[in-house]
Amino acid sequence: MAIFKRNIISKSIAALGALVVSGSLLAGTANAGETLDKIKSRGQIKVGVGTLPGFFSPDSNGEWQGFFVDFGRALAITVFNDPIKVEFASSSPQQRLPALQAGEFDILLSGVTQTISRAFKLGFHFGPIVFYDGQGLLVAKSLGVEHGKDLDGATIGVQSGTTGELNIADFFRKNGKTFTPVVIEDDKEFASVLESGRVDALTQDASDLAIKRTRLAKPDDFVLLPERLSKEPLAPAVRAGDDQWLEIVNWTVFATIQAEELGITKENVDSFLTSEDPTIKRFLGVDPSLGEAIGLDPKFAYNIIKNLGNYGEIYERNLGKSTPIGFERGYNQPWTQGGLLYSPPFR
C-alpha cells in the first residue's frame, strides 16, 4: 500500500510541478501574478506595519526593527534574495486595510487579526498565523480587581478600528455585567488615559498592553489581568485574488517554522547542507528539484535562515525573555513543544 501511495503521490507532484512551472512565480516573468509583477518592476516590496516596539518600530538610525519586520525581510529574501529590498510604512488600525485594498501596500504585517468578515466581506486573504495573541485588560493595582468580571460598571478604553470593541462588549454581555466604553482614536493617547484616571482599564491585545505598560511612568502600579477575552490570531493580510503572491507569503512563513522544527538555526544551517536526510536536502535546496518545480529559488529557505534565523530566533530576538518585553512564547511554540506552530511538508 505504501509503494502504491508513493507512486500516486509522485505522479501528482509531477503533474502539479508541470502546472506550477507553467505559472512560474519567479523563474519567469510573463506569468507572474499581478502583485509580484509590480514588486519586481519597482524592485522592492511595500509592507504596511504599525508602530509598536518589539513588533515594528524604527531604531535610532531610522531602520525598521521588530518581529513582523523580520517577516517582511524574509519575503524580500524569497523574492529578491536580498533582505533590504523592502519598504516599511506605518499605518493606523483604521487606515491599514483600506490602504492595502487601494494598493498602497503589497502586504500588511501590522498585527491584523484574521476574521471571517475580513475574508468574505472585505476581500482579504490571510497567510499563516505568525503570532497567537489574545485580548487582555490592563488595570491599576489600586482597583484591587483580579478578573475582568470584577470591572462591573467600569469605564474601559478601547482603540477604535480594532476587534477589541466587539470583544469587550461580548465579554461583558456574556457575564451579565455593564461597562462604559471610551473609544481612543489616537494611539499615542491610549495608555495616558489610564494614567490620568480617565478610564478604569484598557483593553487591547495582551502583547500590545504589555508593551504599553512599559511606557507608563510607574509601570509597577498597573497589572495585566491573566485572563484572555478572545482569540487574536495575527496573520499577514493580502488582497484576495492573487494566489501566487499568497503562496509566496505562505511558504516564506512556513520556512521559518519548519527550520525551528528541524533544529536548523542561523548559526548551524551550513552544517545541515551535507545532511543525507532527504527532507532537509529538499528544504535547504541541496536537492533543487522541489524549488525548481514550484518556481522559487531552491535555496530560498536556506537564504532566509542564513540571514534571519528560524521562527524561534526571530521571536526571541524581538519579543523574548532577553528583551525588555519578555513575552513567554506560550502558543507560539512548535507543535512538537506543545504550541500551535505547524508547517505543512516541504515536499
Q: What is the pLDDT of residues 187-205, one digit of tens each?
A: 778 888 999 999 999 999 8
Computed on alpha carbons and rounded to an integer, the radius of gyration of the chain in Å comes to 22
Would you say the C-alpha torsion 236, 238, 243, 245 has a positive or negative sign? negative
Q: What is the pLDDT of residue 7?
A: 40
CA distances in angstroms from 341 to 108, 257, 335, 337, listed in the order given: 20, 7, 5, 9
CB under 8 Å, gap of 24 or more: what pairs does 181-184 form? Answer: 181/155, 181/156, 182/155, 182/156, 182/157, 182/158, 183/157, 183/158, 183/159, 184/157, 184/158, 184/159, 184/160
Q: What is the pLDDT of residue 267?
A: 98
Q: What is the pLDDT of residues 194-241, one digit of tens each?
A: 999 999 999 998 888 888 888 889 988 998 887 889 888 999 999 999
Which residues on neighbouring strands pair with residue 311, listed in sequence order? none
The residue type of 136 is G
How far is Cα 74 from Cα 70, in angstroms, rounded to an integer?
6
Q: What is the pLDDT of residue 26?
A: 54
| Cβ partners under 8 Å of residue 334, min gap 6 | 257, 260, 261, 311, 312, 341, 342
Q: What is the pLDDT of residues 78-100, one digit of tens each?
A: 999 999 999 999 998 889 999 99
Q: What is the pLDDT of residues 57-69, one digit of tens each?
A: 999 999 999 999 9
